[in-house]
Amino acid sequence: MNTKLLSLTCAVGAGVVMATNAMAQSAQKLEFPQPSPASTLKQKVGLTDVEINYSRPSAKGREIWGNVVPYGQVWRTGANAATKLVFSTKVKLNGKEIPAGTYVLLTVPNKDEWSVMINKNVEQTGPYKYDAAGNVAEFKAKPVKLAQSVETFTIDMQNLRESAGDLTISWGNLAVPLKLEVDFIDQLYADIEKTMAGDGKDKPYFWAAAFYNAHDHELEKAKKWIDQAIAEKEAFYIVHQKAQILKKLGDKAGAKAAAERSLELSKQANDYAYIKLNNDFLAGLK
């Protein structure tokens, strides 16, 4: 072969290889939108960290129940992979106790009732490898009709309270609430007692007193701690807490004096919420 032609052929070949490699590298760097994007929800319930990892398909004009999601079949409860639940402590879902850990949420939707399975085999991507032996909890749940349709599949925490909330699955015209409960109160009582009896400084006098007050627990201790909190900082919200505790202990005169002092301090701070709170409290003492 002609030397010049051979050189040209080699050059062209090398150029093609370089271009192909460049295109491959470029393709590897490209990111494309997902039809069902991934989502992570993190929520504190009581002292428990709840994390939900799932993918979110959209209806796009399709009929969801009995069509996109067939009735009577195990569903990954989302798209792409089985939805994962992570609990930092033991919890209850619809009354079933679940240890702390990571699980997948699988369901069997039906018109009037769903089956819900919390499964420990977290590597499964969907119902194809579902093994009921891995279930740590199984229970029934009732779907609820929605007034307004939900376009994109959603799992969230609603109706949050101190030690409970609803883990709610919503899509199309249905929602399925699962009652989540956590139990931390007795453990927190023990932790508070240990902390307050210790030799450490900067004890949480206000928060300990407020927690005991909220649960009507050992109010004489709460009174002692709130007085110590006021000695460190006479703030309107701390003094108002004292008024509440004294009222529960039957000391109406003391409660009135504390509320009047809290009202005075809240006016100085221009805190209108506590001004109203104290006025309402004083009106209730009459």
User: pLDDT digit string (tens) for 83-119?
Assistant: 999 999 999 999 999 999 999 999 999 999 999 999 9
Torsion angles phi and psi, residue 213, rounded to 5: -60, -45
Average pLDDT over residues 184-202: 91
Q: What is the mean pLDDT of the chain?
A: 90
| Cβ-contact 57, 46 below 8 angstroms | no
With bands split at pLDDT 50, 70 and 90, how would you rate the model's confidence at 31? Answer: confident
DSSP class of residue 75 equals B
| Cβ-contact 226, 245 below 8 angstroms | yes
Taking residue 206's Cβ as centre, other Cβ atoms within 10 Å add up to: 20
Residue 59 has pLDDT above 60, yes or no: yes
With bands split at pLDDT 50, 70 and 90, how would you rate the model's confidence at 140? Answer: very high
Distance, CA of 55 to CA of 66 (rounded, Å) = 20
Residue ranges and CATH numbers for the domains of the chain are 38-181 (no CATH), 185-285 (1.25.40.10)
What pLDDT sits at residue 123? Answer: 84
With bands split at pLDDT 50, 70 and 90, how would you rate the model's confidence at 182? Answer: very high
| Cβ-contact 170, 146 below 8 angstroms | yes
